[in-house]
Amino acid sequence: MEKICVAIRLRPPTKQNVVRGHHWKVSDNSISLLSAAGSVVSGHTFAFDTIFGADAKNINIYEQHAKDVVLSAVAGFNGTVFAYGQTSSGKTYTMRGSESEPGITRLAVNEIFRHIQKASDREYLIRVSYMEIYNEEINDLLTPDSRKLQVHENLEKGVFVAGLREEIVDSVEQVLGLLEAGEVQRHFGETNMNINSSRSHSIFRMVIESRSKCHGGQGSDDVDAVRVSELNLVDLAGSERIAKTGAGGVRLKEGGHINKSLMCLGNVINKLCEGGAKQGAHIPYRDSKLTRILQTALGGNARTAIICTMTPDEEQIDESRGTLQFASRAKRVTNCAQVNETLTDAALLKRQKKEIEELLLKLQGQGSKPSEELEKEIKHLRNDLLKIELEREKLELELQEEKKALNDKLKEQERKIENLSTMVISSATDDFGQLSQKGSRRETWCPRQVTSDPDIQRMKKTAKEFEAPSNFLGSTVPVSLRRSHNLGLPPAFGSLIEDEEDFWKSPDVLDKPPTPADFENVADEDTWASLNGGHMNSDLFNDRFDRRAISSSASEDSRCILLEHQLRELQAQHEQLQTSFNKKELELETAIEDTRKFKDQVDLLSQENANLEEALALTETQMLPPVAQLSPPVVTEDYYVKKLEELVHEMEVEQTNSKQEKVRLQEEVECLQDQLQSANTTLQQELRLRTELEQEVLLLREKLNSPNIHMQSSIHECGFAKNLHSDEGFRTTDEISLSRKHETGELEELRSLESSDKEEAYYEEVKTLAPRCSSISDMQLDIVGIEDRKSEIWMEQITGIAAPTKLIKAERLLLANELQNYIGALAKQDAAISAICMEMKEFEVDIMNRSRPIC
């Protein structure tokens, strides 16, 4: 048991896709997806046997990954190397290569021939074939006319493509010539992603037979063994996304088939990696031609190497991830490769004779081995026998399961065919007016009616099973005998009749090689074997022939002839119907495609139409006079209901909108009310300020008027001071002069008294008056002083009054200015307040309007 070897090949980025964002990074045996920032994207790291980076050459891939499989094929093991990956990822580049850089196929061919030329002990025979699977049909690339080949399976050959040309080759040049010729026939096409995209899966097969050069000698039965191995070099078509390849028409159909078959391959790999083969689960090899042909390579008797190609382009990350996931599963699949040795009849006979002789000797006790040893060997043989029995039973079970699955599938297909044929017939009837043929066509087509005939049932019995000898003794090399996993499958109706007819009518069929047409619709390898005279076991044939010859009687002959005649007719009708069916199927496909396109166009036009109508309706509504002026339209109930619904809907929308608007307005109103309140507060403050200012102005005015009062009071004060002064003894000049006069008169009187006898008193009095005079002069001096002082104070007082007056004047000016400013500010404030009031009024009106209920 060994695992499938899986390698990854990362091709260089395409020119227009320089790595910018996410990109793949290869390190040793693992590959990871990195983000633009360079960190590993979680869950996107994959490990493989080998990973080849963008700079790897085909020769590196061959040497490290494919060479072992190729050399194993030379040694007798089946081998398969295939490239898998999305379109344009480099599969063909890897498998086919170019002149300057040969691919795996050319390198393998060179290797094989180099090896066999060196081998001195063995002789080789190499046959090559080249086929493609295009739209689920197998075409022979070496024989261009050989198309629609069928896959079969039998004991001797295993799974094989019937009618495929095999060319015996003996040189590299010859093989390369055939390869080139095949390439010319292969289907390539241009897509958006690959200018030369493979539209088919190609399988280049080399069958390597070898045997020892010293065969035929005495006691050398082992060297008579022939090793036959197959090496498949497969270039698969790549999976593709229609959106990216831009495929349409033929390319679309091809893409569909490619993707479907790759999906089947994926399914088989999935089943195998889940351990389906070990658990005896059904592996869906038969779901596609590709998996059927590669059956041995996938979980069977083969060594397999897969090269998964991927592109580093950022826009292909999904596809690359798909490829890596496929590869991860594929590497968990185990194969069981054995050397494929077959013995020639002579070698087989010789080996069996030897075994019998040995057994006889042992039984007679004449053998060299003691009896216990013999008993042991017999036990061993019995065990082997038992194992083989078990194996056979298991195979039978598998067979039954497969039979069941196939029957189900067959029934499903019959149903589909019947449906299709009904469609075709009805379409044909519609087209050509041949309604009358409908019934007869159906009758001829229906296989059940024919198969219910006992004669045909009898004819369906095929040859007895060929059983490989299972009691080999002394075999030293592990030998794998091919066996059928699909014995006794119900043959398809058409081919069965044709096979039997050809077989019994023309015995020379024995010598005639089968043609691809012989295998059409033949699903049963035994039936195929009965057709394929060249490959059929002669005993089997003779037995069948003898039985038929002995049992035939005259009545049966005539019945047979009649039946044959009927069969021929049926066959002709069948063929005719098949052709017309195929034709109709094609027509139907084209019609479906056309219808689809037409439908798309219609959809597009309808959409455009609807848009236009909408625009027109809108324009009309805009252009129409007010509803009141229109004459009432004639409307149906539906129209009315629809309109009403529309109106209700509109109103609902409007209501929701107005609710939202109301909430918004309420918020706005609240906000405005806040503003209003704050404006009111400001207003109150301003008014208070204004009153204060006014009071201040009054005060100032008062102050402005006050200097006169002040001055008057000062003057009054001064007068009061004067009075006060006179009260205190200070007198005015008049008073003083009056007082002087008075005192001078007194003096004169006194002087007259002196002269007149009162001289002495006079003198006395003068004496007293003198101090008084001096006192008066003093007083006069005092008065002058006082007056000076008074003037001084007066002047001081006047100056004292004048200074405040100046100050008051300046203050007054200042206050007047201030007053002016205040008045200006007040006016502004008034204007702002009235603006706010206006605004508030507007808002109130607005709120009133909006709060009005919607009709």
Ligand X SMILES: Nc1ncnc2c1ncn2[C@@H]1O[C@H](COP(=O)(O)OP(=O)(O)OP(=O)(O)O)[C@@H](O)[C@H]1O
Which segments are annotated as binding site for ATP? 85-92
Least Å distance, CB 36 to ligand X, is 24
Least Å distance, CB 52 to ligand X, is 8
Q: Is 472 exposed, middle or buried (0-12, 13-18, 19+ CB in 10 A)?
A: middle
Task: Select 194 or 495, whichever has its Cβ closest to ligand X.
Answer: 194
Query: According to CB under 6 A, which residues from 199 to 258 bind ligand X?
Result: 237-238
Q: Is 51 exposed, middle or buried (0-12, 13-18, 19+ CB in 10 A)?
A: buried
Q: How many helices, marked H, and strands, marked E, lie in the chain?
A: 21, 19
Least Å distance, CB 87 to ligand X, is 4
Least Å distance, CB 292 to ligand X, is 21
Q: Which of 92, 229, 340, 480 binds ligand X (CB under 6 A)?
A: 92
Task: Select 314 or 846, whichever has its Cβ closest to ligand X.
Answer: 314
Least Å distance, CB 31 to ligand X, is 15
**Sole window of 194-202, 361-369, 401-409, 801-809 interacting with ligand X (rule: CB under 6 A):** 194-202
Task: Select 307 or 536, whichever has its Cβ closest to ligand X.
Answer: 307
Binding mask 138-177 for ligand X (x = CB under 6 A): ----------------------------------------
Buried b (16+ CB within 10 A) or exposed e, 229-260: bbbbbbbbbbbbbeebbebeeebeebbebbbe
Least Å distance, CB 93 to ligand X, is 3
Task: List the structure tokens of 621.
Answer: 């509504």
Helix spans in 532-553 (H) = 538-551
| HSE-up of residue 436 (Cα within 13 Å, Cβ side) | 0
**Sole window of 193-201, 363-371, 423-431, 592-600 interacting with ligand X (rule: CB under 6 A):** 193-201
Beta bridge partners of 133: 138, 201
Least Å distance, CB 102 to ligand X, is 13
Answer yes or no whether residue 89 interacts with ligand X by CB under 6 A. yes
Task: Select 242 or 711, whichever has its Cβ closest to ligand X.
Answer: 242
CB 10 within 8 A of CB 23: no
Q: Which of 126, 249, 109, 117 is nearest to 179 (CA)?
A: 109
Answer yes or no whether residue 762 interacts with ligand X by CB under 6 A. no
Task: Select 88 or 301, whichever has its Cβ closest to ligand X.
Answer: 88
Q: How far apart are CA 131 and CA 142, in angstroms?
A: 7
Least Å distance, CB 34 to ligand X, is 20
- Alpha carbon 540 to chain centroid distance? 58
Task: Select 79 or 85, whichever has its Cβ closest to ligand X.
Answer: 85
CB 79 within 8 A of CB 205: no
Helix spans in 552-636 (H) = 554-623
CB 209 within 8 A of CB 116: no
**Sole window of 91-99, 131-139, 457-465, 608-616 interacting with ligand X (rule: CB under 6 A):** 91-99
**Other C-beta atoms within 10 Å of 432: how many?**
9
Answer yes or no whether residue 320 interacts with ligand X by CB under 6 A. no
Answer yes or no whether residue 90 interacts with ligand X by CB under 6 A. yes
CB 703 within 8 A of CB 805: no
Q: Dihedrals φ, ψ of 645, to 5°?
A: -60, -45
Answer yes or no whether residue 93 interacts with ligand X by CB under 6 A. yes
Task: Select 188 or 794, whichever has its Cβ closest to ligand X.
Answer: 188
Least Å distance, CB 161 to ligand X, is 22
**Sole window of 59-67, 191-199, 549-557, 784-792 interacting with ligand X (rule: CB under 6 A):** 191-199
Kind of pairing between the strands at 226-235 and 79-85? parallel
Task: Select 91 or 574, whichever has its Cβ closest to ligand X.
Answer: 91
Task: Select 190 or 652, whichever has its Cβ closest to ligand X.
Answer: 190
Extract the runs of DSSP E, i.e. beta strands, from 639-744: none
Q: Which of 50, 72, 78, 88 binds ligand X (CB under 6 A)?
A: 88
Query: According to CB under 6 A, which residues from 299 to 318 bind ligand X?
Result: 309
Task: Select 259 or 475, whichever has its Cβ closest to ligand X.
Answer: 259
In what side-by-side order are the strands of the sheet with 30-34?
Answer: 23-27, 30-34, 40-47
Q: Which of 6, 11, 24, 111 binds ligand X (CB under 6 A)?
A: 11
Task: Select 93 or 581, whichever has its Cβ closest to ligand X.
Answer: 93
CB 79 within 8 A of CB 229: yes
Q: Which of 139, 197, 316, 530 binds ligand X (CB under 6 A)?
A: 197
Task: Select 102 or 163, whichever has its Cβ closest to ligand X.
Answer: 102
Q: Which of 91, 211, 289, 482 binds ligand X (CB under 6 A)?
A: 91
Q: Which of 431, 361, 336 is nearest to 78 (CA)?
A: 336
- Annotated binding residues: 85-92
Query: According to CB under 6 A, which residues from 707 to 746 bind ligand X?
Result: none
**Sole window of 192-200, 571-579, 749-757, 787-795 interacting with ligand X (rule: CB under 6 A):** 192-200
Q: Which of 105, 146, 150, 198 binds ligand X (CB under 6 A)?
A: 198
Task: Select 196 or 732, whichever has its Cβ closest to ligand X.
Answer: 196
Kind of pairing between the strands at 201-212 and 122-134? antiparallel
Interface size with ligand X, residues (CB under 6 A): 17
Least Å distance, CB 11 to ligand X, is 4
Query: According to CB under 6 A, which residues from 66 to 85 bind ligand X?
Result: 85
Answer yes or no whether residue 295 interacts with ligand X by CB under 6 A. no
**Sole window of 64-72, 86-94, 465-473, 659-667 interacting with ligand X (rule: CB under 6 A):** 86-94
Q: How far apart are CA 492 and CA 308, in angstroms?
A: 38
- Does an H or E element contain 531, and which? helix 525-531
Task: List the structure tokens of 423.
Answer: 């469609």
Answer yes or no whether residue 291 interacts with ligand X by CB under 6 A. no
Least Å distance, CB 82 to ligand X, is 12
Q: How far apart are CA 187 and CA 253, in angstroms?
A: 13
Least Å distance, CB 211 to ligand X, is 38
Q: How far apart are CA 306 and CA 328, in angstroms?
A: 11
Max Cα-Cα span within the chain: 235
Q: How far apart are CA 247 and CA 270, in angstroms?
A: 28
Query: According to CB under 6 A, which residues from 834 to 853 bind ligand X?
Result: none
**Sole window of 87-95, 324-332, 474-482, 636-644 interacting with ligand X (rule: CB under 6 A):** 87-95
Least Å distance, CB 89 to ligand X, is 4
Task: Select 76 or 238, whichever has its Cβ closest to ligand X.
Answer: 238
Q: How far apart are CA 192 and CA 195, in angstroms?
A: 7
Least Å distance, CB 238 to ligand X, is 3
Task: Select 80 or 239, whichever has its Cβ closest to ligand X.
Answer: 239
Answer yes or no whether residue 266 interacts with ligand X by CB under 6 A. no
Long-range contacts of 457-463 (CB under 8 A, 24+ apart): 459/496, 459/500, 460/490, 460/491, 460/496, 460/500, 462/488, 462/491, 462/524, 462/526, 462/527, 462/530, 463/526, 463/529, 463/530, 463/536, 463/540, 463/541, 463/543, 463/544
| CA-only gyration radius of the chain, Å | 63
CB 180 within 8 A of CB 96: no
Binding mask 466-485 for ligand X (x = CB under 6 A): --------------------
Answer yes or no whether residue 12 interacts with ligand X by CB under 6 A. yes
Q: How far apart are CA 202 and CA 130, in angstroms?
A: 7
**Other C-beta atoms within 10 Å of 383: how many?**
10
Q: Which of 78, 80, 87, 444 binds ligand X (CB under 6 A)?
A: 87
Residues contributing to the site for ligand X (CB under 6 A)? 11-12, 85, 87-93, 194, 196-198, 237-238, 309
